[in-house]
Structure 1
């Protein structure tokens, strides 16, 4: 299975979008047709300038500032919350949580729309097989984290939970190992049971 590390690895390409002049009823139709709750609004050159959601449409009531709004440009929320395609999956998840959004437009370096990522997309990383996770962790520990011959670490992964045990040369090494292992795609939790020599 491909290692899922960035938004580009899990996003949906070819997302639905609308332009500034899209009429109210047409927005509703696109939302229904694509079965989504929000749509990016694009400028003439394809840049994301806002988002129109179902909530934006429902708030169009008499006596409010949006009462006379009939186009995407008048209805949209701006600026749009977007995410770069090379953003790490955890970073995208945090952005989505902070913004209370279910979907994020994915943009390139020029803020042009290239796709959309949803909560479900971000969760795909946790479908990674335990054996793949364990293999990556063993390689990381062996070649990057611990000098050869200075420690013995055994790795077991079950349902995304990583179990590490063995011996380490000093307590600081354990902290480094746990932090690094926690960044491996698909890891849910890291549990350790290391023996560390006590200095006399």
Structure 2
């Protein structure tokens, strides 16, 4: 079973900033390149942080409203320091939360969720920047064709991995939703098949309408 990796999904042409890149240059880089964040790299091209639109907007939020209608928000000390910053190293979120190119979509998505970030710089073994992967990049796996998903489930997973006959178990896929029908050898195999199908790239949900053969010794009633 093939899982698309971060390397297959990431953007390779990454716009970078340096720690000493000034505020206005950061704004220009974001605007001209149509991106919402920039990795900040050191002299060896290793990410040391990420500066985003949200980081830069703290400066605007910290300014007094000339109309007097909007109160100046309370900022923590670290937020105040960012609002007063003028270079990338003062404005960025650090340290950079990074991914590796061989990671699966699941690994990258879990890291984004636990770290509450929208994108991950991708680095090699020496921590040098290779690319960047965003939430949108990871969601592209759900654009996979239904037929490709069905072929992987019926061929790679059911037949080759689990040794199930295609006449016993069938898979129907519509808009990424998988419906399994048929009979498996024993009861304990039902959740295994369902879980493996959920791990196929592009699968949105799995409904397992599966029965099992009653002659399974583990399901046979015991004598009294």
Pairwise CA RMSD: 2.1
Runs of 4+ in structure 1 over 3 Å off: 60-63, 146-149
Q: 5+ unaligned residues in a row in structure 1: which ranges?
A: none
Deviation at 1:7, TM superposition (A): 1.0
Deviation at 1:84, TM superposition (A): 1.2
Instruction: Provide the residue aligned with 1:23 in structure 2.
Output: 22
Which of 189, 193, 200 is matched with 2:209 structurally? 193
Instruction: Describe the SS at the equivalent of 1:59.
Output: helix
Deviations 1:141-189 (A, max 9, x none): 111113669x811111111111111111211111111111111111111
Kindly name which structure, 1 or 2, has the bigger radius of gyration based on alpha carbons.
2
Instruction: Describe the SS at the equivalent of 2:188.
Output: helix
- Whole-angstrom CA distance in 1 between matches of 2:123 and 2:114: 19
- Whole-angstrom CA distance in 2 between matches of 1:66 and 1:181: 46
Residue 153 of structure 1 pairs with residue 152 of structure 2: no
Residue 176 of structure 1 pairs with residue 192 of structure 2: yes
Q: Which range moves more in the overlay, 124-133 or 190-199?
A: 190-199
- Pair 1:129–1:148, CA change in 2 (3 A): closer
- The size of the alignment, in residue pairs, is 197
Query: TM-score with structure 1 length normalisation?
Result: 0.89
Contact 2:45 2:128 in 1 (8 A): yes
Query: TM-score with structure 2 length normalisation?
Result: 0.80
